Structure 1
Amino acid sequence: MNIASVRRPIIPPTPPRAPDNLSFFGRLAVIRQNMIATWGQRAYEEEIIQGRFFLHKSFILNQPDAIRHVLLSNYENYSRTPAGIRMLRPVLGEGLLLAEGHAWTHQRRTLAPAFTPRATANLVPHMTAVLDETIAKLDARTNEPIDLREIMQRMTLEIAGRTMFSFGMDRHGPTLRNFVMEYGERLGRAYFLDMVLPVSWPTPMDRARARFRTRWTEFVARLIAERRAAGKKDGAPPRDLFDLMDESRDPETGKGFSDEQLVDEVATMILAGHETTATALFWALYLLALDPDTQEEVASETRGEHLDSMADIDRQKFTRAVIEETMRLYPPAFLVARAARDKDNVAGAEVSRGDIIMIAPWLLHRHEKLWDQPNAFIPKRFMSKEPPDRFAYLPFGAGPRVCIGAPFAQAESVLALARLIGAFRIELADEAPVIPYGVVTTQPDHSPMFRITRR
């Protein structure tokens, strides 16, 4: 995909690439600190890289057809790795993101009505109300250093709370943020035993994660109990995601969710929704602060728009392209790892049972054979008449297991960025480069300070 640009695009900072000959144990040491710093130049140039992971082979796939095969054509042959399950199960339980087989099919069918375009459109007023409040608070903080990362986390958490439960997160927000920080700082990192032992063999960190899960699920259950206590008028239409999820039934079996299952589904939607959207918005604001000309294009597009409906959101073509380019450079899920259940052939490579398949959006989105100027911030590449290959761009995954909440997340991100940039001019007040690192999602190594002024 060739991109013509009048001015030189910015190239945001990234971690140094690892030596291609980095030893296994050297790579293992880096993984715990920053997974995306473990890949060398070969990983950005070659279509398939084969290695070894203890007794099994490992493959990094950067070829769209090979990725299509694993995520779509033969997806049932590939399951999450033990390390992936260990990282996610304590916070997501057996919710949609981790479920397999019939359990996944039941959950996907049951949840589908809650995430239709119409359902998302009905939730936009919740989003706009939170954005109005956020902009009013930011008005009082113009011309002073502010932490926009924290503000995005609070804002998206508030949106998650209102769209899920129709109540604010003033009382519960600090507790939820503490859970997220606690897990990400220690328990959400992959340790040596996490990667080599079967899931059925608990590691020392698994015991700590189990204790965390007990506290976490009790907290989510309290949120659900509070929402149920608020009730719903008989015959009234659903007013939030909880109503939709609680009332949803599998169209084939007629079954809904048990209370235990509902806890896992709610936890999945709140965490996956607010954390990934907050991170994407932070990176978008950072990129626009580095690139004032592109920031002005966003502001120009939003000028005169009401931005309070899905129709308004759909008109923000350039702002959407900025979000799409942000998620190309900083994909929320930087790595998808799968273990083969049975033998297979992937793009001529023989895959055996237990072999590890790695599809890394971080690599795929910056691959030199797939993208022109892969490390540069060029939103207009997503307004081209030649869109990227569907399996070369995976911010929300692909295939049957594509993120069910993608339309909701995209609408929220475009609406929030358009409203914020339409209201404020944003600059960096911190000269230190912000380096992305991968733990659970693609996070900044520090929260830089910004300065905003009213337009």
Structure 2
Amino acid sequence: MTPPKPASRPDKVSLWRYFKLFRKDILSAQPHRLYRAWMAEFRTPFFSSYLINQPELVDKVLKKQPDQFPKSERISEGLRPLLGNSVFLTNGKTWKRQRRIIDPAFDGGRLKDTYPAMLDAANAAVERLRPLAGTELECEQFTSYAAADVIFRTLFSVPIDHKIAAEVFDKFHRYQRAQPLLNLAALFPLPKWAPRFHSSETKRNAKEIRFLIKQLTADRAKQIAAGCAPNDLATKIMTTPDPATGQCFGQDEMVDQVAIFFLAGHETSASALAWTLYLMALYPDWQDNVANEAQSLFDQGFTTIPRLKLSRDVFREALRLYPPVPMMVRENTCPVTFRDRVVSEGSQIVISPWHLHRHERLWENPDAFDPARWETENGRSCQRDAFIPFSAGARVCPGAGFAMIEGPLLLSMLLKSFRFELIEGREPVPVAHLTVRSKDGIWLRVRER
């Protein structure tokens, strides 16, 4: 039994069919040959895109020459209404200044400080699930709520049922279902004055979310000024000056950053945890092993986290098979040669964790769920060279360490108390929204252990 794949992996795709599939679901549009190719070119009348799977090329773009390959403005267009000039979208000096302020909040010692809030959120998730034992559960909605609770508790020291937090969650849920992975501006060159084809619903939800976040940051600024702010991530970020300029984030820029923290820290974590629960139902022996590990290790504080080895390997394997962000796009700023082919300035460079993590020339049995692979020579090699769920290099997600604590913690706490089982006829089909989600949700039956 292998985990589900997208609706299709066509052998050959004409430009017209690719465009139709692309609009429906970017994952199903990808031909099978891309899971073996080191590089592929995709031409439009306006620009060329190059998918790169060869580890040396990925390393060059993400690690060795990141300034030559900034984030593509084409991809930024689709997220601009919500994220403004957040660290996820900016480039160059602006991005470097933002990272200098943000990174200290996510260092190792700071993550240890967030553990009690994460544990409270995990316990709250268990209690919310307890009345649902014996029923069929749509896991994506449940994990979205749990991950949002983690973010609000660690960022603003409030639970998800806080009035503003609950409103942000509700409006973001609508936003993420209405917003495709790629806006039309990603496919066609548009002048700055041209409309960006954002739906009225997308713009309205983004505006309302940003208004609510502005309320939270304004309240926190008052608490900081009064000397009574809680010692959480928001306080840390808002009071950390840029070591190069001595300036902190202004209020509007802090709204941008909180928007991406919520997007990256909630949407991606929810996707990863939901797919992990499905894989646990698909492989009940692994589920029992993780549950047994959790039974024996908890109630030891933060020292529990490094000892959740099985849970971490299972979560990592879910990230490999279902990377929350399936594709990343860079733009080269000057001509470059890849595999004896000249890639012209302005071309789009697509780095796809979805393909790289399932690449047939890199991974042993790439479509199989096998958490034990991480202890093999092939698994260790691929973890270094072909595993980038959080990107890599200078632009690696600052919350990567946060996610690798949150995911195994929530998984272990849930499996410690509950068993998740498959429902016949409800196999999920992965599609790309803002993250990799299931076309019709991930439905599992949940039972109390």
TM-score bracket relative to the smaller structure: over 0.9
Q: Which residue pairs with 1:140 in the alignment?
A: 131
Alpha-carbon deviation of 1:256? 0.9
Q: Partners of 1:395 and 1:272 in 2: how far apart?
A: 12
Structure 1 residues 82, 113: CA separation in 2 closer, same or farther (over 3 Å shift)? closer
Q: Partners of 2:206 and 2:117 in 1: how far apart?
A: 29
Give the 3-state SS of the residue equivalent to 1:38 in structure 2: coil
Alpha-carbon deviation of 1:351? 1.2
Please tell me whether residue 294 in structure 1 is matched to residue 312 in structure 2: no
Structure 1 counterpart of 2:217, one-letter code? I
User: Which whole-Å deviations, capped at 9, do the CAs of 1:345-373 have from their partners, x for residues lacking one?
Assistant: 22332111111211111111111001111
TM-score, length basis structure 2: 0.93
Residues 86 and 260 of structure 2 are in contact (CA less than 8 Å); yes or no, is this contact kept in structure 1? Answer: yes
Residues 78 and 183 of structure 2 are in contact (CA less than 8 Å); yes or no, is this contact kept in structure 1? Answer: no
Q: Which residue pairs with 2:321 in the alignment?
A: 329
Alpha-carbon deviation of 1:297? 1.1
Alpha-carbon deviation of 1:404? 0.4
Structure 1 residues 176, 301: CA separation in 2 closer, same or farther (over 3 Å shift)? same
Q: Which residue pairs with 1:112 in the alignment?
A: 103
Give the 3-state SS of the residue equivalent to 2:331 in structure 1: strand
* Match of residue 81, structure 1, among 53, 56, 72: 72
Alpha-carbon deviation of 1:307? 4.9
Structure 1 residues 260, 419: CA separation in 2 closer, same or farther (over 3 Å shift)? same
Q: Which residue pairs with 2:34 in the alignment?
A: 43
User: Which whole-Å deviations, capped at 9, do the CAs of 1:266-288 have from their partners, x for residues lacking one?
Assistant: 11111210111111100000000
Alpha-carbon deviation of 1:189? 4.6
User: Where do 1:409-420 residues align within 5 Å?
Assistant: 409-420=403-414
User: Which whole-Å deviations, capped at 9, do the CAs of 1:353-412 have from their partners, x for residues lacking one?
Assistant: 111211111111111001111111001112335512523111000110000010011100
Structure 2 counterpart of 1:405, one-letter code? G
User: Which whole-Å deviations, capped at 9, do the CAs of 1:184-225 have from their partners, x for residues lacking one?
Assistant: 333335354542123614335247455544333212101223
Residues 28 and 192 of structure 1 are in contact (CA less than 8 Å); yes or no, is this contact kept in structure 2? Answer: no
Alpha-carbon deviation of 1:260? 0.8
User: Where do 1:117-132 residues align within 5 Å?
Assistant: 117-132=108-123
- The answer for unaligned runs of 5 or more in structure 2 is none
* Match of residue 97, structure 1, among 57, 74, 88: 88
Alpha-carbon deviation of 1:131? 1.5
**Percent identity between the aligned chains?**
30
Q: Which moved more, 1:363-372 or 1:28-37?
A: 28-37
* Match of residue 179, structure 2, among 187, 197, 206: 187
Q: Which residue pairs with 2:6 in the alignment?
A: 15
Alpha-carbon deviation of 1:444? 0.8
Q: Which moved more, 1:73-82 or 1:195-204?
A: 195-204
* Match of residue 437, structure 1, among 401, 420, 431: 431
Q: Partners of 2:39 and 2:119 in 1: how far apart?
A: 44
Structure 1 residues 27, 308: CA separation in 2 closer, same or farther (over 3 Å shift)? farther
Q: Partners of 1:213 and 1:148 in 2: how far apart?
A: 25
Q: Which residue pairs with 2:231 in the alignment?
A: 239
Please tell me whether residue 355 in structure 1 is matched to residue 347 in structure 2: yes
* Match of residue 21, structure 2, among 19, 22, 30: 30
Q: Which residue pairs with 1:200 in the alignment?
A: 192
* Match of residue 225, structure 1, among 210, 218, 242: 218
Q: Which residue pairs with 2:337 in the alignment?
A: 345
Q: Which residue pairs with 1:395 in the alignment?
A: 389
- The answer for unaligned runs of 5 or more in structure 1 is 1-9
* Match of residue 209, structure 2, among 206, 210, 216: 216
Alpha-carbon deviation of 1:119? 0.6
TM-score, length basis structure 1: 0.92
Q: Partners of 1:349 and 1:212 in 2: how far apart?
A: 43
Residues 429 and 448 of structure 1 are in contact (CA less than 8 Å); yes or no, is this contact kept in structure 2? Answer: no
Q: Partners of 2:6 and 2:288 in 1: how far apart?
A: 28
Query: Number of residues paired by the alignment?
Result: 445
Q: Which residue pairs with 1:61 in the alignment?
A: 52
Give the 3-state SS of the residue equivalent to 1:95 in structure 2: coil
Alpha-carbon deviation of 1:333? 0.6
Alpha-carbon deviation of 1:30? 1.4
Structure 1 counterpart of 2:68, one-letter code? N
Residues 152 and 282 of structure 1 are in contact (CA less than 8 Å); yes or no, is this contact kept in structure 2? Answer: yes
Q: Which moved more, 1:80-89 or 1:328-337?
A: 80-89
Q: Partners of 1:59 and 1:267 in 2: how far apart?
A: 30
Q: Which residue pairs with 1:6 in the alignment?
A: none
Q: Partners of 1:292 and 1:377 in 2: how far apart?
A: 12
Residues 115 and 404 of structure 1 are in contact (CA less than 8 Å); yes or no, is this contact kept in structure 2? Answer: yes
Give the 3-state SS of the residue equivalent to 2:187 in structure 1: helix
